[in-house]
Amino acid sequence: MLKIEGVKKMKLEKIINKAKSVIPEPKSLRAQLFEDCRKKFEEKKDFEYLLRFIDERGLEMFRKYEQKAFLLALQLFFENKFKDKQKTEEVLEKWKNIIQTKGTAEFIRLLSKELNEVIEIIRLLEKSIGQMRKARADVQFQESIKFLLSLYGIKSEIPTNNEDKQRLGYIDIVVPSVAEAFTKPDKCFFITCKRTLRERWRQEVPQATVNQRFYFVTLDLDVPLNKICEFQEKKLIIYLPTESYNKIVEENKDSKKPINVSYIRPLGELVIDLKN
């Protein structure tokens, strides 16, 4: 195991795991997020606004815990280097002020210039936390949509067991239930949720079939017209942020191969369509 001067026998993995432990479990973060959203719902029953609120607030919360993880990693490093609690606290206070006032990116940049001996730990932690953030993002997006639908009185279910997941493929949410997806598929809505459209999105969306309603929900603000054409070929209705929707509608007016705009809708219409 790689060692760094000043850390002695403490392994990188131990420091990184201990630092990441300050980031709460996803369910704990979602509980707080959803409680905040429930209060917002009483003020403004706007599906798109609430979905974006959860997404932005969730990222903000995660970033704060991310900063705590970086500071804990530094603390562990300094404790082993100085063997002096007061000196550790003094140095740590400086970096705490930097990360809180200038942000994580500037914090890492300055560390690389001033404390090169610790930057390897921080870089590895940054990579590990980044992977954690990405892994949580899509799950939180699915759970957020399910939660919001419940506020509007719409029953839905996320497939959880392996057999159901295998049978449903890339379907993330079924309205009203997974059981009815197999017994009464013509009465159900099948929803695929992707916060952003990645390179592999084509393999991650289903092909709509006769008498089945397949919806795709995204927060992506930059969906090109050619991707909408491919959604149309799959007979999928895609729900977009209003600004993306308006942009595509305008671009379509001048397109040599215009799309059927009935396949794209603003996010706010999802609730209306699911209730009809």
Predicted local confidence at residue 1, as pLDDT: 38
Tokens of residue 40, six digits = 């917002």
Alpha helices of 83-115 — where are they, by DSSP H?
A: 85-102, 104-114
Q: Which residue has the tokens 């209060």?
A: 39
Residue 242, class by beta-carbon neighbours within 10 Å (0-12 exposed, 13-18 middle, 19+ buried)?
middle
Instruction: Say which CATH class 162-275 falls into.
Output: alpha beta
The C-alpha atoms of residue 76 and residue 89 are separated, in whole angstroms, by: 11
Q: What does pTM read for this prediction?
A: 0.87
The C-alpha atoms of residue 79 and residue 158 are separated, in whole angstroms, by: 45
Predicted local confidence at residue 202, as pLDDT: 57
pLDDT exceeds 60 at position 208: no
Predicted local confidence at residue 223, as pLDDT: 85
Which residues have a Cβ under 8 Å from the Cβ of 68 and sit 6 or more positions away? 22, 23
pLDDT tens per residue across span 77-110:
888 888 888 889 998 999 999 999 999 999 999 9
Predicted local confidence at residue 2, as pLDDT: 40
Enumerate long-range contacts of 163-166, CB under 8 Å, 24 or more apart: none
pLDDT exceeds 60 at position 203: no
pLDDT exceeds 50 at position 3: no
pLDDT tens per residue across span 142-181:
999 999 999 999 999 999 999 999 999 889 999 999 999 9
Ramachandran quadrant class, 136 (left: phi over 0; alpha: psi -120 to 50; beta: rest): alpha
Q: What is the DSSP letter of 187?
A: G
Using CA atoms in the order 157, 160, 162, 167, what is the torsion angle rounded to 10 degrees?
10
Which run of H or of E encompasses 217? strand 213-218
The C-alpha atoms of residue 65 and residue 33 are separated, in whole angstroms, by: 14
The C-alpha atoms of residue 270 and residue 220 are separated, in whole angstroms, by: 16
Predicted local confidence at residue 209, as pLDDT: 60
pLDDT tens per residue across span 237-260:
999 999 999 999 888 888 877 888
pLDDT exceeds 70 at position 265: yes
pLDDT band at 10 (very low <50, low <70, confident <90, very high): low
Q: Could you give phi then psi for residue 159, rounded to 5 degrees?
A: -60, 135
Strand runs labelled E in the chain: 173-175, 189-194, 213-218, 237-240, 264-266
Which residues have a Cβ under 8 Å from the Cβ of 216 and sit 6 or more positions away? 191, 192, 193, 194, 205, 231, 236, 237, 238, 239
Predicted local confidence at residue 117, as pLDDT: 82
Q: What is the DSSP letter of 106?
A: H
Residue 16's Cβ-side half-sphere holds a number of Cα atoms within 13 Å equal to: 18
CATH 3.40.91.80 residue ranges of the chain are: 162-275
Q: CA nearest 204: which of 196, 245, 183?
A: 196
Amino acid in position 225: L
Tokens of residue 106, six digits = 């500037």
Average pLDDT over residues 268-274: 96
